[in-house]
A and B are shown apart, each in its own frame.
Chain A
């Protein structure tokens, strides 16, 4: 799992490491947005500013607000060119009023969209060229890979599918990091010359170093821009960080915005559960990610639809299992629950105790099918049998899937 942060936070992390980003300020309120304008215009010398919605999803520029169908998620304010700072401030006030608290729908948010709670006010940039840059893990080499392309602003997966020759790659040797010659090679291939070439090399090296230092899963700059004066800057910035490494990045943990995450998934993560909400009616409680996926597959195969992916993990306690059960039963779409356990590091008796405890606490309004196998299986079955709960047991995964789909109203 990975922690996502906002664009402005990513840029803060970049700027603190000498990576060029535009001047900007975050605003949680209309007044903060207006107050941001003057210092930005004075520092940049450019009367143009940009108002950018901060949500954890891409496609914001082309996205539109549900409440204001004509308004884009990222809007350029040019009123200052003729009207000066006052005019810019007035326009930013109007925009901030409209955007804050409204719902932005982009290609990545789904039709429900996301509520905008923060804006980023940024200096306008005179763009000469738009490029693409990212640092990702290459699983085939177990190294980071710097990817660049002249096709800035485009969906990189589209570029990769249709014009793969336009994607440039450099392997990052973890012993020494990205070397000058590699950064130069990329900069030349991107068509950067003179000052822009030197700035590009510096940018590339610093970004690759940031990826390693911050344990990123992905750093993506799209677009990376070359300004008319030869500066190389991150116009956008997307950054996600390996959850397993967060213990050494306390500053990044503080950037987490829980309002951007699914409430049930956040609660599940507090109990060490890996939970993903889906649209079906069969709740699943499983140990192990592979078995959890396979359980979903099997439910679908016998005509049902899974309501969730839930892996209780290996180290779960009775309390964790109880929490898992509660999270599943809270979903009003759930018409039946399938507990599918093959204990290894996870013990069947722990699961059984957790399920029994949860049912005692919250009751059981829907059918429950339990399949137990593996470590301490006899003990687990005994606990379920002696609990007096109305539980249907299953001999294996397919048997369990069939039974729960049947009990929950049959196949669709």
Chain B
């Protein structure tokens, strides 16, 4: 078991530009089942991906792969022809909202948006549009979702992952990689790692993913990586306190960030004394979460949370 993606994931790609093509190739090398690409005006063509297998991914494959990915004019055509149940979006920012809505309308259950720089107002409209359609949006501006040895959707380096016991959820891409590598190095491994993205309006929040991990029998503990700005970490702390049955560790980036400055992510800002790392850390510790003092201690914080729960 795992959450969101696994061996039964049938993936579409929307946006085969330079980045989209590079990372589709990496995903196929990892063993992800890429069933089609949406390229308006190029339906009927196909794109060949070939190279050396990434053996850190799905086990038991030959050393070389050669895959022809069929192209479709519309998402609906692609779903009908391939039975796709997930899509990854690399479409450039001005057109990304349209791509997400097209995927939602076609009934794709999981829509992972990697694109960085989508206007906030577009995501506001997208969220309204998908309401009630039974689809899950992950991102935008996120690294994606990976279940080690089964399925990789997004831009994360595959080789740092190891199938294991910990669910990972994070607002920051590169800090997800830090946490994942430390969990691989200390032997805990990951069930699934979910990057929810650093934008102020996103499809999936911490609590959504915590609920999934709480219900997943293979996930024994969770690490949640937050940053300054907004109140998502405080909300998650309250939810953990009331509902979480598994040990949780955390790290909050931005302890030393100056107020009033946006630190890269549109969402990362301390304004009016709100959204500070100190407040978030206090809320998490009050909920019984083990908070790492530096990003290099995320793995050991998880280990200590597992030990406290008698699981390590």
A381 an interface residue at 8 Å Cβ cutoff?
Answer: no
Q: Return the CB mask of B254-284 against A: 1 if under 8 Å, else 0.
A: 1111100111111110001100000000000
- With A293-B253, A294-B253, A375-B157 known as contacts, the answer to whether A1 contacts B266 (CB < 8 A) is yes
Contact B265 A289 (CB under 8 A): yes
Q: Are A289 and B272 in contact (CB under 8 A)?
A: no
Check A298 for interface membership: any CB of B closer than 8 A: yes
Tell me the bound Cα distance from A342 to B235 in angstroms.
29
Interface range for B: 35 or more
Q: Which residues of A contact B254 (CB under 8 A)?
A: 293, 297
Instruction: Evaluate whether A297 and B253 lie within 8 angstroms (CB atoms) in the complex, with A292-B264, A315-B19 already known.
Output: yes
How far, in whole Å, are A49 and B268 apart by their CA atoms in the complex? 41
Chain B's closest residue to A343 (CB) is: B157
- CB contacts (< 8 Å) of B295 on chain A: these are 291, 294-295, 297-298, 397-398
Quick check: is A61 within 8 A (CB to CB) of the other chain? no
Inter-subunit contact B94/A309 (CB<8 Å): no
Instruction: Enumerate B68-126 residues with CB–CB distance to A below 8 Å.
Output: 93-94, 114, 116-125
Of A242, A290, A311, A345, the residue contacting B19 (CB under 8 A) is A345
Q: Which B residues between 264 and 312 are near A, CB-CB below 8 angstroms?
A: 264-268, 272-273, 293-296
Q: Contact at A157–B273, with CB atoms within 8 Å? A: yes
Chain A positions within 8 Å of B235 at CB level: 140
| Main SS class of interface, B | loop
**Residue from the set A313, A314, A344, A399 with the largest chain B CB neighbour count within 10 Å:** A344
Contact B174 A290 (CB under 8 A): yes
Pick the residue among B122, B160, B198, B225 that contacts A289 (CB under 8 A): B198
Given A142-B123, A244-B266, A289-B268: A175 touches B128 (CB 8 Å cut-off): yes
Counting residue pairs across A and B whose Cβ atoms lie within 8 Å, the total is: 173
Q: Are A291 and B172 in contact (CB under 8 A)?
A: yes
B200, A290: Cβ atoms under 8 Å? no
In whole angstroms, how far apart are the Cα atoms of A164 and B137 in the complex?
A: 34
Inter-subunit contact B174/A309 (CB<8 Å)? no
Task: Please indicate the chain A residues that have their CB under 8 angstroms from the CB of B35 in the complex.
Answer: none
Q: Choose among A160, A175, A286, A291 the residue with the greatest number of B CB atoms under 10 Å from its CB.
A: A291
- Partner-B contacts on A (CB < 8 A): 1-2, 137, 139-140, 142-144, 157, 160, 174-175, 212, 215, 217, 242, 244-245, 247-248, 274, 276, 278, 286-298, 300-301, 306, 309, 311, 313-315, 342-345, 373-375, 377, 396-399
User: 5 closest A-B pairs (Cβ-Cβ)?
Assistant: A290-B172, A289-B264, A288-B174, A291-B174, A245-B119
Binding site for A on B (CB under 8 A): 19, 23, 93-94, 114, 116-125, 127-128, 143, 155-157, 160, 170-175, 177-178, 181, 198, 200-201, 225, 227-228, 230-232, 235, 251, 253-258, 261-268, 272-273, 293-296
Known: A294-B175, A344-B143; 16 extra A-B contacts, CB below 8 A, are A137-B124, A137-B200, A139-B232, A174-B128, A242-B121, A244-B117, A276-B261, A290-B225, A290-B268, A294-B253, A296-B257, A297-B256, A298-B296, A311-B264, A373-B177, A375-B157
28 contacts across the A-B interface (CB closer than 8 A): A1-B262, A1-B266, A137-B120, A137-B201, A157-B273, A174-B121, A215-B120, A274-B263, A287-B174, A288-B264, A289-B198, A290-B227, A291-B172, A291-B295, A294-B251, A294-B253, A298-B294, A300-B256, A301-B293, A342-B174, A342-B177, A343-B157, A344-B157, A345-B173, A373-B181, A375-B157, A397-B178, A398-B295
